[in-house]
Amino acid sequence: MSAANKFKIAVANAPGANARTVAEYVIGQLINLSRQLIQVHNTLNQYDWATARALSSNATELKGKCLVIVGVGAIGSMIAKICSIGFNMRVIGVTQTSQRHSDFIEYKPLGEALGQADYLVLSCPLNGKTQGLIDHKALQLMKRGAKLINVSRGAVIDEQALIFALKEGQLGGAALDVFHVQPLPETSPLRNMKQVILSPHLAGITDESMEAMSEMVVRQIETMEDGQLPQHLVNKEHSEAIRQRWQMIDTSADVTES
């Protein structure tokens, strides 16, 4: 961004294009964690029917459970709506913005919300306020045996604190799509934890989301070709400088052609 601003280059993104895709990933992992479906599958294949079936004694329903969502933007609000209406879960939101989806979300500070969470979903952006947000202290505030899903960025969690909480049993499980180091090193202890579900940063990738993002990008390129700023311009504070640069480019082109 600093380089783009220096050279007066417009930067745009495609917000919300994959919100449903990420939300559906989270819903899938909530069910996986609550019913231990990955462990059941692996146990059935590695051992026998009875051993796998015995795991059902630890399965739970989502109904009535408390879901805490850190980051209630396009993704978080969609997760909240599905879980509140579809599963009758209690949903608490933790957000830095003033936007509120009050019909199905309670809003509380992080410290107060964590102690009530049966499931914690991280769907916030990574910035100075969220880096290392979920550290040892935060994890110890949670109910023993609570579960965590991260579709944000790896650095939102103190990974060593996460590993400790999983080993010690403070966390009952986790579904992780993002990590401090990507690809996840083969030596990471997370790879050998039966209660952890890993995926290679694909929560937002489906045929539909890729198409939606591509279309949004193309529409904004066409807008810029028509001399207008893109709909989802990120560096808005440099709008005038960007326009001036475009004008200089157009003027230079006219001189060359003449």
Q: What is the pLDDT of residues 88-120, one digit of tens each?
A: 999 999 998 766 766 789 999 999 999 999 999
The pLDDT tens digits for 175-204 are: 999 999 999 999 999 999 999 999 999 999
**What contacts 244, CB < 8 A, 6 or more positions away?**
8
- The tens digit of pLDDT for each residue in 138-189 reads 999 999 999 999 999 999 999 999 999 999 999 999 999 999 999 999 999 9
Instruction: Tell me how far CA of residue 92 lies from CA of 116, 117, 135, in angstroms.
Output: 9, 8, 19
225-249 per-position pLDDT tens digit:
999 999 999 999 999 999 999 999 8
Is the pLDDT assigned to residue 216 strictly greater than 80?
yes
User: Cα–Cα distance between 1 and 91 in angstroms, integer?
Assistant: 35
Domains of the chain: 2-13+213-249 (no CATH), 19-198 (3.40.50.720)
| b/e sequence 10-45, b meaning 16+ C-beta within 10 Å | bbbebeebbbbbbbbbbbebbebbbbbbbbbeebee
Eight-state DSSP code of residue 134: B
Cα distance between residue 177 and residue 187, in whole Å: 17
- Looking at residue 133, its amino acid is L
- Count of residues in the chain: 258
Question: How far is 137 from 123, CA to CA, in rounded Å?
Answer: 20
Phi, psi torsion values for 80, nearest 5 degrees: -60, -45
Are residues 1 and 234 in contact, defined by beta-carbon separation less than 8 angstroms?
A: yes
For residue 255, what pLDDT band results from cuts at 50, 70 and 90? Answer: low
SS3 140: helix
Reported as a pLDDT band with limits 50, 70 and 90, residue 253 is low
Instruction: Give me the chain's average pLDDT, please.
Output: 95
Q: Which residue from 50, 19, 14 is spatially nearest to 215, judged by alpha carbons?
A: 14
Sheet strands side by side (includes 171-176): 106-107, 90-94, 66-70, 119-122, 146-150, 171-176, 196-198
Give the residue from 3, 155, 16, 134 showing the smallest Cα distance to 70.
134
* Confidence at residue 97, expressed as pLDDT on a 0 to 100 scale: 76
